[in-house]
Structure 1
Amino acid sequence: MTEGTTSTAPAEAGSDTLTRLEQEGEIAADYLEGLLDIADLDGDIDMDVEADRAAVSIISESARDLQKLVGRDGEVLEALQELTRLAVHRETGDRSRLMLDIGGFRAKKRAVLAELGAKAANEVKTSGQPVKLDPMTPFERKVVHDAIAAAGLRSESEGEEPQRFVVVLPA
């Protein structure tokens, strides 16, 4: 179920946001449970609110079943996330920034990307020259931008999808 801080005063803006994100998570969970049933796959749905967005995860004892939902390098996961966001949008009328993880794929990817961002930041600090990284998905770029900011440097995205990439800049 949803974890996080809840306010005792429902009229507060923060509480309204949390309630909206919890609603997004509930809609997404219902949608994903339906998909799991259709695909005849086992999985449990875990919901949370992280960094001002609903986060929904599908977890299962059978990693092999979930791998089908992740696809090669997360391509199926990305498509399922977009479909889930559309389902939430259809119900609420609001654009969703919901994040979907399946079998811990995004969590593992986030750790690898944070390390990549930290290494690129160190390279820029040492050389004083900008570093261009390989093209990435929006999720991947966001993780790298966050890691670079945590290292005290600036970064920006350049190029057009699907060849958009991060450039790490000297301080």
Structure 2
Amino acid sequence: MREVTASGQTVEEAVQSALEQLDTTRDQVEIEIVDEGKKGLLGVFGSKPAIVKVNMPSDPVEQAEEYLKQIIEKMGIPVEVTTEVSGTQVNFNVTGDQIALIIGKRGQTLNAIQYMLHLVINKDRNHYYSVLVDAEGYRERRKETLESLARKMADKSLRLNKEVKLEPMPAFERKIIHHALQDNKQIATSSEGEEPHRYIVIKP
């Protein structure tokens, strides 16, 4: 958050001075009137300037992107980060030579980073952002792997005529499994257990 204290002969002049210093517009800031000032005798004697404090809240997307860069920098991995925003959906894509270190085993490191960014971007906000962190197309490859796993485990459940439990997964990955099997009327899926160890059960 950037804050500027400015003065002027009127409150409006003080606000305008602060906006020019912040290089922004009125709809992007929060204004606090410290002193309305007074004109004084003949507009000169005994006059007091108006004083205002103008705050420009930090952009949550920029804040999250900077946090992501700091995390990866501390990991000692040279990467590039690109950001795409569509409404309340924010996608961060990471590219670099050592991308496997950022992904981690079965995406666990990438998921942990995504979870932390989700907390950062939604902290003390009036509206909710959905966050996706990808690394050179890993999410799409993982989606295909999970869909294949879903079909394979559904076949196993039917063949053995008993329920099959999958490994714990984050909510957005469990959703992929549920979606992949939703049209299969021979089986049912459910999520069981407590976060972060919640898992899917597939049964006839």
TM-score by length of 1: 0.64
Q: Could you tell me which residue of structure 1 aligns to residue 188 of structure 2?
A: 154
The question of 1:57 aligning with 2:92 is answered yes
* Higher alpha-carbon Rg: 2
Q: Take 2:88 and 2:181, find their aligned partners in 1: how far apart are those partners?
A: 21
How many Å separate the matches in 2 of 1:54 and 1:146? Answer: 20
Give distance in 2, aligned partners of 1:28 and 1:154: 38
Report the Cα offset of residue 89 of structure 1: 1.0
Contact 2:158 2:203 survives alignment (8 Å): no
Secondary structure, aligned partner of 1:58: strand
Determine which structure has greater relative contact order: mean sequence separation of CA pairs < 8 Å that are 6+ residues apart, divided by chain length. 1
- The runs of 4+ residues in structure 1 deviating greater than 4 Å are 125-128
Query: What's the secondary structure of 1:112's corresponding residue?
Result: helix
Equivalent residue number for residue 129 of structure 1: 162
Which of residues 162, 166, 170 in structure 1 aligns to 2:200? 166
Question: Which residue matches 2:144?
Answer: 111
Task: Work out the CA distance in 1 between the residues paired with 2:91 and 2:141.
Answer: 15
Deviation at 1:93, TM superposition (A): 3.0
Structure 1: unaligned runs, 5 residues or longer: 1-25
**Where does residue 82 of structure 2 map in the other structure?**
45
Contact 1:27–1:88, Cα closer than 8 Å, also in 2: yes
C-alpha displacement of 1:72: 3.4
* Bigger Cα displacement from structure 2, 91-100 vs 104-113: 91-100
Residues 149-158 or 123-132, more deviating: 123-132
CA distance in 2, matches of 1:106, 1:125: 28
Q: Is the 8 A contact 1:29 1:45 kept in 2?
A: no
Number of paired residues?
141
| 1:69-88 equivalent positions in 2, closer than 5 A | 69-88=102-121
CA-based RMSD: 3.0
**Alpha-carbon distance in 1 for matches of 2:92, 2:193:** 31
Contact persistence 1:29–1:56 (CA under 8 A): no
Q: Relative to total residues, which structure has the larger strand share, 1 or 2?
A: 2
- Structure 1 residue 58: deviation in Å? 1.4
The one-letter amino acid of 2:110's match is L
